[in-house]
Homo-oligomer: A and B are copies of this chain.
Amino acid sequence: MIEIDPQRLIADLRKLSSFGAVGTGVDRPAFSQADIAARRWLEGRMREAGLEAEIDRYGNVYGRSPKASNTVLIGSHTDSVPKGGWLDGALGVIYGLEIARACLEHKSGAAVDVISFQDEEGRYLPLLGAKSFCGMLDENDPALAALGASRLPAAPARLDPARHRAYFEAHIEQGPKLEAAGKRIGVVTGIVGIRRVRITAHGQADHAGTTPMAMRKDAAAVLIRLANAILERFAALAAADTVWNIGIVEVHPGAANVVPARAAMTVEFRDMDAALLERMLGALRELVALAARGPVAVELQETARIEPAPMDAALGQMIAQASRSHGEEPVLLPSGAGHDAMIMTRVLPAAMLFIPSIGGRSHDIAEDTSEPDIILGCRVLASAVEAISRT
């Protein structure tokens, strides 16, 4: 049994949160001074644990077990959004560190590599580090030009598929489901796919007192009716875990007494089922076409498309079984947010474990999780690592 040290786990998490500390959270965007300092500290901690550690060209901190094959890779990211939470990706990285350390201390048969990917949050390019690690990064991507001298002299670390049998990532839930269900461990079925569209109505500005209703080209009225129809239609089409959001609405010129000339909104929707996402997109296109039959032109632009990334079901079952062995019945749920595991699942069997977020808060300095939950999560992951290493 891999015996983690709960005090050391918490102490390392607290220490990591001192880099870029802001209130109870951290401000540690990728390549910021605080981020690089945190990565240097992490590299040192990995070495102290007995891992061969280095920071690669893009800031990925990669610590390898002395055992060169049949290892489990555990990781996540230590960069944060501006004024983010102290756990977020840091949790999964320190879980990896603690489990790798415990394996080496206790001469466990299991071998664990640890990685902190760079820029998961997308200051420059979302999932930059994971993409580079998997050889999916175009080093000429214009988004990387802004990096400039932030690149390090080292070569990019690369996945060696012969070395690893699985990728595990632990993360705070970033939502309220576990807390609401009174559960402490979530097993992630997959990371949802995303469709995002921008819809713009082009009308004509007119005096809102003197222009008869029948002669108006009111962009806002058309957009409001369309948005309402989309909300109704999506509610009818949705599965249990489908989510959708109209998060941006803009009306121009924006005066009480001027008929709006232009109105725009973004509609975003997420689900694990790509076919459902396509049905929703099709319904949305139909509604836009209907709205565009009037005197106001309406255009739809697809601005983001991310396919669902299912996790490995067998690995998920190992996490679930490990959770039960610690007396905790787990919840199976999709992840509504993106994670490095989205990339890793393309090259390795991958699984994710969630622990509760207090009040569902995340990407905010108010983000937190109770210490018992943090410790339980690490124990469950260690047991899952042990289980897979025995097979």
Contact = CB atoms under 8 A, between A and B. Distances in A.
What's the number of copies of this chain in the assembled complex? 2
Interface stretch (A4-12, A129-137, A225-233): A225-233
B249 A258 contact: no
Report which residue of A212, A259, A304 has the largest number of chain B beta carbons within 10 angstroms of its beta carbon: A212
Contacts of A225: 228, 231
Given A174-B207, A249-B263, A243 B213 contact: yes
Contact of A247 (B241, B242, B251, B338): B251
Interface string A235-277: 1001001111111111100111111100100101010000000
Contacts of A379: none
Report which residue of A206, A209, A235, A335 has the largest number of chain B beta carbons within 10 angstroms of its beta carbon: A209
A175 B212 contact: yes
Contacts of A362: 207, 210
A196 interface: yes
Instruction: Decide if the interface of chain A is mainly helix, strand, loop or mixed.
Output: mixed
A220 interface: yes
A336 interface: yes
Contacts of A266: 256
Interface string A153-180: 0000000000000000000011111001
A208 interface: yes
Sorting the interface of chain A by its residue count into under 10, 10 to 19, 20 to 34 or 35 or more gives 35 or more
A268 B180 CA distance: 42
Nearest to A218: B245
Contacts of A221: 231, 246
Contact of A360 (B211, B244, B258, B303): B211
B224 A247 contact: no
Given A224-B228, A245-B257, 7 more contacts: A194-B209, A207-B336, A208-B268, A209-B270, A209-B336, A245-B259, A256-B268
Interface of A: 173-177, 180, 192, 194, 196, 206-213, 215, 218, 220-221, 224-225, 227-228, 231, 235, 238, 241-251, 254-260, 263, 266, 268, 270, 303-304, 335-338, 360, 362-363
